[in-house]
Chains A and B, each alone.
Chain A
Amino acid sequence: MSSIIKVNTVQDADGNNIINESGDVITVGASGDTVTVAGNVVKSNALQASDGGNVVSQSGTTITVGASGDTVALASGASQTGFGSNPFKNIVINGDMRVAQRATSAASITSDDYYTIDRFVTEIGSFGTWTQSQVSDAPTGQGYTYALKMDCTTAQGSPGSGNVMLIGQSIEGSMLQAIKQGTANAESTTLSFWHKHTKTGTNIVELLDADNTNAVSGSYTQSVSDTWEKATITFPANTSGAYGNDSARSLRIRFIIGSGTDYTSGTLATTWQTSITNANRYAGQVNNADSTSNNFIITGVQYEVGTSATDFEFLPLDIQTQRCERYYETSMTYGSYGQYAGQQPIAGVGSSTYGGSTSSAGGRQFRTWKRASPTVTLYHQDGTSGGIYRIHDAQKTTGNVASHINQNGFLFATKSSGFNSGYYYYYGYTAESEL
């Protein structure tokens, strides 16, 4: 048996409304009341303000805070965690491969160097011949435009036992302090990236601690040939050995492309090795150099504190460029080593240096303060290194070098003779302070 009582209002003994209905609006409590709910029985798709606008709403798995035209603010003294609380979370610089000051392609690579995309070094020891390129190839719908591609042009099917080939990035200790390595509060870290390799199978990424000679490895799998796939590798915290808080190289992140058996014959070391056993470093690594059909492509590289991979941090291009310029800058058009591309001349008035044994033209201030005193190369407009162009008669002097270099610039373009007082010269320069 059941009963139904129909009323518009339920009141307490004082005559104040507890529940009231007017049309389709149901009001709980009255002005000045406190309405509490015992338990956790609050289910709603939307929480609304008194004007009917959504404060919080949910549709499917999307939760929206505020409504169009609202300002969402934190109360004074409140703190924020989670999204947006960790800018520059990506320790890797230029992980989306956008900036390529040196070149967009370099062929016949057989030795270690920085070739194309900023901050990414190639290390290769007798491991075939490669072309490296910044390619417009990226996983669809992820926001990336470019990737770093290694194209094998001469295969090495039987590498020497001690040989290794990799691409990687070295990180300054000052950029790693959030990891708190070497303390009881050391953090786990996570590396995420997209890969597209021709060769299917296992590949290794290594963190090599250059300060303390520790190392840890992680693996990922290319499941389908020449297809974009995402890898996420979480590395354990290391309470042994702190990173120096300075501008020297502390960490090397290494994407192994191929390795000799000296480094593959053991069991992969997925916990930090404080005494490195080479055989455990790259166990399981496939040989991406065993065919000239092979490509090895990566993009979206992010290394961050924590045990999970968050969305890739896309930086404004000007900020990303400036971060790259801490390690390399050119006064010339990217990929060009001459002054024919219409850029502004970098001029200096020639004169004899005090004392007379050297003559010089003026130096330049760098756009961005360098990590360390850089290697500087001067370029004539025709691309000759050490060359300088004298404007009034187009004379080309060679054998010039920068002098009195510091992190902020260089004072002179110098030669024992060759500059004449009062004439105008110009030249381009590169400055490199990579790790």
Chain B
Amino acid sequence: MFSTVEKIYINDNWINEYKVTFTDGTLSTVPHDENNRHYLKIVEWAAIDGNNITDPGE
């Protein structure tokens, strides 16, 4: 479902949102919210070996 997932930082603070690129190339923002279905998909995606959430703050 996702090609990339990256935490969004503003002024060095993670704002609890992810910049995601879906496999069809669509670029979107997904909130860190268990009521958001795409966030739940991110959790599933990140649990698969080889998939990583990029964290520019690290």
At the interface, yes or no: A307 with Cβ under 8 Å from chain B? no
Neighbouring B residues of A376 by C-beta, 8 Å = 28-29
Known contacts A354-B11, A358-B11, A385-B26; is-contact A405 B35 (Cβ 8 Å): no
A375 touches B28 (CB 8 A): yes
B29 touches A357 (CB 8 A): no
B33 touches A372 (CB 8 A): yes
Cβ-neighbour of A372 out of B25, B26, B35 (below 8 A) = B35
Neighbouring B residues of A248 by C-beta, 8 Å = 35
At the interface, yes or no: A367 with Cβ under 8 Å from chain B? no
B28 touches A385 (CB 8 A): yes
At the interface, yes or no: B8 with Cβ under 8 Å from chain A? yes
Known contacts A385-B25, A405-B17, A433-B36; is-contact A375 B11 (Cβ 8 Å): no
At the interface, yes or no: B12 with Cβ under 8 Å from chain A? yes
Interface residues of A, CB < 8 Å — how many?
30
Cβ-neighbour of B37 out of A399, A402, A435 (below 8 A) = A435
Q: How far is the CB of A403 from chain B (nearest CB, A)?
A: 6
Neighbouring A residues of B35 by C-beta, 8 Å = 247-248, 371-373, 433
Interface residues of B (CB under 8 A from A): 8-12, 15, 17, 19, 25-31, 33, 35-38
Cβ-neighbour of A405 out of B25, B29, B37 (below 8 A) = B29
Cβ-neighbour of B30 out of A357, A375, A386 (below 8 A) = A375
B36 touches A375 (CB 8 A): yes
Closest to A410 in B: B29
Measured in the bound complex, the distance between the Cα atoms of B27 and A385 in whole Å is 6
Known contacts A385-B25, A404-B15; is-contact A375 B31 (Cβ 8 Å): yes
Known contacts A247-B35, A372-B33, A372-B35; is-contact A377 B26 (Cβ 8 Å): yes
New A-B contacts (15) at CB < 8 Å, excluding given A375-B36, A378-B27: A353-B11, A357-B10, A357-B11, A373-B36, A374-B31, A374-B36, A375-B28, A375-B30, A375-B31, A375-B38, A377-B28, A403-B8, A403-B10, A403-B17, A432-B38
Neighbouring B residues of A353 by C-beta, 8 Å = 10-11
